[in-house]
């Protein structure tokens, strides 16, 4: 590694981490390590976890694709789902390939490294833990919801807010962090948390024993990327401040900087999201809450996407400014 290379760690999961890594992939003089949540329980990933007893491959696969120079060519192939064979039906080709590589090599990280080698991935992708676990959410009324998919997709039109989330191990008395994750955090210059579903993609990484403590010890700058839209059942009616308060409560410390989007989607798109009880995340930059934190607001909206998400290149441009200038002038 070049002495001037910046060591970047991303922490998250799902589509948010895919977007972030897609932007960071072409960043010059950067060494990227993605730390990925291991609690996904839906769809093909959940079936493979339950039927074959492996760690969930879905979010890892997205990170591999994001950091591959062949992303555009391979994405449609590896995300293609089988339809004809009874056993394969519903599984994606990439999930099956990663599963078979993991079983043949004897462990999940080796399978991840093998698929990354096939796709010439420039970076390192690490599961946050090798222990199988179920994510449990405790609501403000005391009820508990078991499994990432059930938490992510609430039934009915009302649900109490999430008070806390925790992990229940499957085969051990406790859960332990994958050691290379601690090394990556210790050696990092910058750590980017999010974007992604707060309670099912971001926080599940931070509650793995050892991760929070490593983040408290690191000399790296910790930067949180706030979501553009809220999510019913998770962050319903959250403001940008609410996102940060919950994250910092989990971390046990303040983050150094926050990146937020200032551009509103069209009213037509907002109306579509309103049907899903999802709102635009408002960030009041005049609030005194931000005085001890660096807040960077700019247009990060992907105007070409059908769904609301961050634009990978706009996000990478913002991050490039932070890395090259240390603490850049505030964006507006």
Within-domain flag for 96: no
**Could you tell me the mean pLDDT of each successive run of 10 residues in the chain, 332 residues long?**
79 93 90 92 56 69 93 84 79 85 93 95 95 92 90 76 92 89 97 95 96 97 97 93 97 96 94 93 94 92 90 94 66 38
CATH number at residue 245: 3.40.50.10680
Give the pLDDT of residue 223. Answer: 97
pLDDT (0 to 100) of residue 256: 93
Predicted confidence at residue 326, as pLDDT, reads 58
Q: What pLDDT does 328 receive? A: 41
pLDDT the model gives residue 209: 96
The predicted pLDDT at position 301 comes to 96
DSSP string, 77-106: HHTPBP-SSTTTTT-BHHHHHHHHHHHHHS
- Which two tokens mark 166? 């925790």
The pTM for the full model equals 0.91
| 76 within a domain of the structure (yes/no) | no
**Residue 78 located in a structural domain:** no
Q: Is residue 148 part of a domain?
A: no
The answer to whether position 22 is within a domain reads yes
**172, part of any domain:** yes
Helix (H) / strand (E) element for 295: namely strand 294-298
Place of tokens 């505030």: 330
Per-residue pLDDT at 250 = 96
Give residue 139's pLDDT.
Answer: 93
- The pLDDT of residue 4 is 74
Q: How many domains does the chain have?
A: 1
Its domain, for residue 187, covers 6-38+128-134+165-325
Confidence (pLDDT) at 1: 46
Residue 235 in domain: yes
Residue 67 lies in a domain: no
The helix, strand and coil proportions of the chain, stated in percent and rounded to the nearest 5, come to 40, 20, 40
């Amino acid at each position: 590694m070049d002495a001037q290379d910046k060591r970047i760690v991303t922490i998250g999961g799902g589509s948010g981490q895919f977007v972030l890594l897609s932007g960071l992939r072409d960043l010059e003089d950067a060494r990227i390590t993605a730390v990925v949540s291991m609690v996904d329980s839906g769809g093909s990933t959940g079936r493979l976890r339950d039927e074959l007893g492996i760690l969930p491959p879905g979010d890892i696969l997205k990170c591999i694709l994001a950091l591959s120079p062949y992303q555009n060519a391979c994405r449609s192939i590896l995300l293609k789902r089988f339809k004809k064979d009874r056993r394969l039906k519903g599984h994606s080709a990439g999930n099956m390939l990663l599963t078979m590589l993991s079983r043949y090599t004897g462990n999940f990280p080796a399978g991840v490294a093998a698929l990354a080698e096939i796709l010439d991935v420039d970076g390192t992708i690490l599961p946050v833990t090798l222990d199988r676990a179920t994510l449990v959410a405790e609501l403000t009324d005391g009820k508990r919801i078991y499994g990432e998919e059930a938490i992510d997709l609430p039934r009915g039109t009302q649900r109490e807010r999430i008070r806390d989330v925790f992990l229940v191990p499957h085969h051990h008395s406790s859960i332990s962090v994958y050691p290379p994750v601690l090394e990556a955090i210790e050696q990092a210059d910058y750590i980017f948390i999010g974007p992604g579903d707060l309670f099912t993609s971001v926080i599940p990484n931070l509650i793995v024993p050892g991760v929070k403590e490593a983040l408290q010890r690191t000399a790296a700058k910790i930067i949180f990327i706030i979501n553009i839209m809220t999510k019913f059942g998770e962050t319903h009616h959250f403001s940008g401040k609410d996102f940060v308060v919950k994250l910092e409560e989990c971390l046990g410390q303040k983050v150094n900087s926050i990146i937020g989007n200032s551009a509103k989607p069209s009213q037509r798109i907002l109306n579509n999201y309103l049907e899903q009880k999802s709102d635009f995340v408002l960030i009041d930059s005049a609030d005194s809450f931000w005085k001890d934190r660096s807040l960077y607001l700019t247009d990060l909206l992907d105007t070409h996407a059908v769904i609301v998400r961050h634009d990978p290149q706009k996000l990478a441009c913002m991050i490039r400014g932070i890395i090259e200038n240390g603490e850049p002038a505030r964006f507006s």
